[in-house]
Chains A and B, each alone.
Chain A
Amino acid sequence: MPPIDAEILARLQFAFTIAFHILFPTLTIGLGGFLVFFEAKFLRTGDEVWYRLYRFWVNIFALSFGMGVVSGIVLSYQLGTNWSEWSRITGPVLGPLIGFEVLTAFFLEAGFLGIMLFGWDKVGPRLHFLATCLVAVGTAISAFWILAANSWMQTPQGATFIDGHFVVDSWFEVIFNPSFPYRLMHMTIASYLTTAVVIAGISGFYLLRNQNAEIARPAFSTAFWALLVLAPLQIFLGDQHGLNTLEHQPMKVAAMEGNWETRSHAPFHIFAIPDRKAQTNHLELSIPWGSSLILKHSPSGVVPGLNEVPIEDQPPVGVVFWSFRIMLAIGFLFLALGLWGAWSRYRGNLFEDRWLQRFALVMTPAGFVATLAGWFVTEVGRQPWTVYGMVRTSESVSPTVTAEAVATTLVLFLIVYGGLFGAYLYYLVKLVRKGPNPLSVGEEGERPEAIRGARPGLVIPAE
């Protein structure tokens, strides 16, 4: 067995690299869908505003997609370098799921991304639209496989543990494991919600500064329609996901609730400082019966407590407890933002409501915070297991890799990803400040023949 510090370092490293990575797919899964919508609008109406909107947001898509690719490649190898025991034990189950992700999603995205970005003057408008659709579908397929793999680690089924590794009995059961449909829906909606808020925030920024209003208005309006539908839907799905977790991973829910004793009439803690050593909370501020009402829909409902299992089988409570509250708070802020937008639209001043635009602007990064918090709940809440109830995290780590090596690469990841994130934000801000290309369809700067043939007859001649 490796010393405990090598395990902690490997966990920190993986938590950091995968948390960094998930920021970018969260945006590209959602933005892929919005780009399909923008281009479809352009093709149907011929209104150039949608074309410009597409060209503006596709730049942000490309920048984020590139970050997702480079940070994703790291993960596909890090599973082996840092978690070699896990790879050997779970490889027969999770390997093919990841393999299918590469085959059906990564190649599709990569193959058509080039056409999406650089192909306007190389292929016709319909084919270009098809490329956009295929890239968007690729991001969704990618989410499907990787969430199937992740969900199997949360709620494993369909495989037997024989001779030191898993052997699959039923692929259908492996893929459609109990938590998968909930996680897939919850994460996909999280992506769209995060993207809608980003679009609302950046468009709100333009409206506040009276810049680029012609593209900011349709984007702002689209984003608020999406927000109005998705924010309540996400709260409903989150509740369903929580009930599913209660059934299959009761200790995760106990940590989310900060509930130490199995009991009825359990309160919901708005604030508490969980103390794992003392197996109790400090400074509780609670809604009586809240937890029982949410989880069992009855005050007398019995909810599980952490002390059902020995302390070494309990997840770290503080991280799970607080991440859950951060996610929840942001979810309800999104609901408020969506309702406010609907109210402004109803009163006819959606584009003039400065406070709404300011609210949208400050919320721009909130979706990412909520998504990360959600992942912290589900991943830290799974501890001390990598495969819930079957394989411990301590049994998953690479036994021969030294703590020094993991510590060194951890520091390097912190430095390199820190610098990278700074550069990403710098170029993102630069793109936003520059705004959309003011040129019309058919005027392509150095290449006047660009997108030649796109909607013949609709091409507006250069002025």
Chain B
Amino acid sequence: METLAIVSAGVIAFAILMYVVLDGFDLGIGILFPFAPDEDARHAMINSVAPVWDGNETWLVLGGGGLLVFFPTAYSIVLPAFYIPVMAMLFALIFRGVTFEFRHSAHTSVHLWNRSFFYGSLVAAFMQGVLLGALVQGVNVEGVRYAGGMFDWLTPFSILTGIGVVAGYGLLGATWTIYKTAGKVQDWARGAAVVLGGGTLVAMTAVSVMTPLLRPAIAERWFGGLNLLYLSPVPFLTLALAIFLFWSIFTKRELAPFLSSVGLFILGFFGIAVSLYPNIIPPSVTVWDVVAPRSSIVFALIGVAVVLPMVLLYTVYAYSVFHGKASEHGGYAEHD
């Protein structure tokens, strides 16, 4: 059962990582929207994600649904604890999601939907960062229930992680734009990627410094005994990737900036996983405390093992259909 709990946590971690990377870049497109040089650039940017955004967001449903599947008690503790940021994220996702369908039908109200896309993406990204910080800093649990108030999640740390995720998603969006566009838009995206890359690194550093200070257990995990040795490559790898990111932007690579940004996210994600394990809700709830009954886990894992590889295959296929540069004419201009 312990192994099943770890495998289940792995499935959820995978879904969340997929979500963060995939929806990260299309939320990032939204965060960058008002700063784009012109309306044509905005068309190209939104067209570059229009065929895939829905699939990207499905990983969020798998992450939340997965928690209900494998750790129903954790789901029932965390969501009431984070009621306000979760609801704010949901409202924000509504505003940006409907933009894809409404904006291209709009003529006079395009600006309204541009704004809805920007604020929706910005607030969703910020709230996701807040949720991350609120989880890492710990949740007050008694028995099988949340025992805190409505505002426990709101701390300087969670605000910092919120800002960090906004910068990080912005970086993913900017490097995705470098990959999917050409000319003026691409040049502008390079500049944006440099600024947001800097911001992301500052935020990552600040979070990395503050996290071990939250609880002695986290400091012990990173600096205790041989762990220091085993984990020491993590910061160096991060630094190397950061250097590669800037180098690839300045040497005008097209795909490398996006891939190195994704690499930074994977490393950050790994760092958080190291800090939390084996807690699913720090500081007191471990994965095996709240794992679902065996009959549920086995049934669900069989489904995951059979279906998830197929999902990944046709997701890659769907992306490959829309490979190449996006333009202001493709996408919705054609779908009419």
Contacts and interface: CB of A to CB of B under 8 A. Distances in A.
Interface of A: 58-59, 62-63, 66-67, 69-74, 76-81, 84-85, 87-88, 90-96, 98-104, 106-115, 117-123, 164-165, 167-169, 171, 398-402, 405, 409, 412, 416, 420, 423, 427, 430-431, 437, 444-447, 450
Given A99-B300, A110-B54, A111-B318, 15 more contacts: A84-B75, A88-B73, A92-B72, A92-B295, A104-B307, A106-B58, A107-B311, A108-B311, A118-B322, A119-B322, A400-B147, A445-B336, A447-B329, A447-B333, A447-B334
Contacts of A94: 68
A118 B50 contact: yes
Q: Main secondary structure on chain A at its contact with chain B?
A: helix
Contacts of B69: 91, 95-96, 98-99
B72 to A, nearest CB: 2
Given A73-B61, A92-B292, A118 B314 contact: no
Interface stretch (B93-101, B172-180, B196-204, B257-265): B93-101
Contacts of B300: 95-96, 99-100
Given A77-B86, A77-B90, A111 B73 contact: no
B330 interface: yes
Contacts of A77: 64, 79, 86, 90
B284 interface: no
24 contacts: A59-B335, A66-B97, A73-B57, A73-B93, A77-B90, A84-B75, A88-B76, A95-B69, A96-B69, A96-B299, A99-B69, A107-B314, A110-B54, A110-B55, A110-B57, A110-B58, A111-B314, A118-B332, A168-B293, A169-B295, A399-B145, A400-B81, A405-B84, A423-B102
A395 to B, nearest CB: 13
B11 to A, nearest CB: 10
Contacts of B270: none
B52 interface: yes
A93 B69 CA distance: 8
Contacts of B150: 400-402, 405
B98 A67 contact: yes
B150 to A, nearest CB: 6
A107 B304 CA distance: 13
Contacts of B51: 114-115, 117-119
Contacts of B91: 412, 416
What 10 pairs between A and B have smallest CB-CB spacing? Answer: A91-B72, A80-B79, A114-B51, A110-B55, A88-B76, A70-B97, A66-B101, A95-B69, A84-B76, A99-B69
B55 A107 contact: yes
A79 B314 CA distance: 29
B105 A74 contact: no
